[in-house]
Amino acid sequence: MIIAVDGPTASGKGTIAKALAAHFALPHLDTGLLYRAVGRQVALDGGNPDDPADALAGCEFADELLAEPALRSEETGGFASRVSIHPAVRQALYQRQRAFATQPGGAVLDGRDIGTVIAPDADVKLFITASVHERARRRWMEMQDRELEIPLVEIERDIVMRDERDISRKDAPLRAAPDALVIDTTSLGREQAIEAAIAAVQEALGPAS
């Protein structure tokens, strides 16, 4: 069973995907972390994330980089959005994601093009969204917990820019698959969002789930 969970940054898709993986006993892959690793590697190399060649070179990151805390920073998130617009980068990471999705028993993957590109054959596709202001507030709260002082207005501006890049890129733009179940988490708490997602998956799979 393959469950695809897509959506924009800070929509809650990662939290929901992890919960679904635990509930249905499936392995989970945060595909956005791969792009963050590429962006981080480009920065470490002193390259330019907007340059296709530099971005492609960043795909050669060591696996150990995936555990680096810096991958969760706002700066790295911005780099990830910038390297992800390059078709060569997306192609380089495609096989890695596809292999994870099609492993025996299935998997849960979250990202921005899982249901449309990586696993269009997924058994269930969810598209998690929320308002820009609410997503910015959530990210600001995360920064506060990590004792990072970043103005809310700055985070909101960054999210708008990322959305624009993700939605308008030519290759694998951010969008809900035609058969995706859309869940708006703007007014939902963490547990409510998880419950809504589990219920949506169970309904899509039928009584046997």
- pLDDT confidence band for 52 (50 / 70 / 90): very high
pLDDT of 205 over the 60 cut: yes
Beta bridge partners of 125: 4
Per-residue pLDDT, 208: 61
Asked whether 52 and 86 are in contact (CB, 8 A), the reply is yes
pLDDT tens by residue, 106-118 = 999 999 999 999 9
pLDDT of 188 over the 90 cut: yes
What gap in Å lies between CA 60 and CA 75, rounded to an integer?
20
Q: What is the mean pLDDT of the chain?
A: 93
- Packed helices 31-44 and 74-83: angle between N→C axes, nearest 10 degrees: 100
Phi-psi domain of 44 (left: phi exceeds 0; alpha: psi -120 through 50; beta: other): alpha
Average pLDDT (126-151) is 91
The percent of residues in the chain predicted with pLDDT above 70, rounded, is 99
Asked whether 159 and 135 are in contact (CB, 8 A), the reply is yes
- pLDDT confidence band for 40 (50 / 70 / 90): very high
Q: Is 197 helix (H, G, I), strand (E, B) or coil?
A: helix
pLDDT tens by residue, 94-108 = 988 999 999 999 999
Q: Which residue range is the domain that position 92 belongs to?
A: 2-205
Number of domains composing the chain: 1
- pLDDT confidence band for 203 (50 / 70 / 90): very high
pLDDT of 147 over the 90 cut: no
pLDDT of 73 over the 90 cut: no
Per-residue pLDDT, 209: 55
Q: What is the pTM of this model?
A: 0.86
Q: What's the CATH number where 101 sits? A: 3.40.50.300
Phi, psi of 204 (to 5 degrees): -70, -35
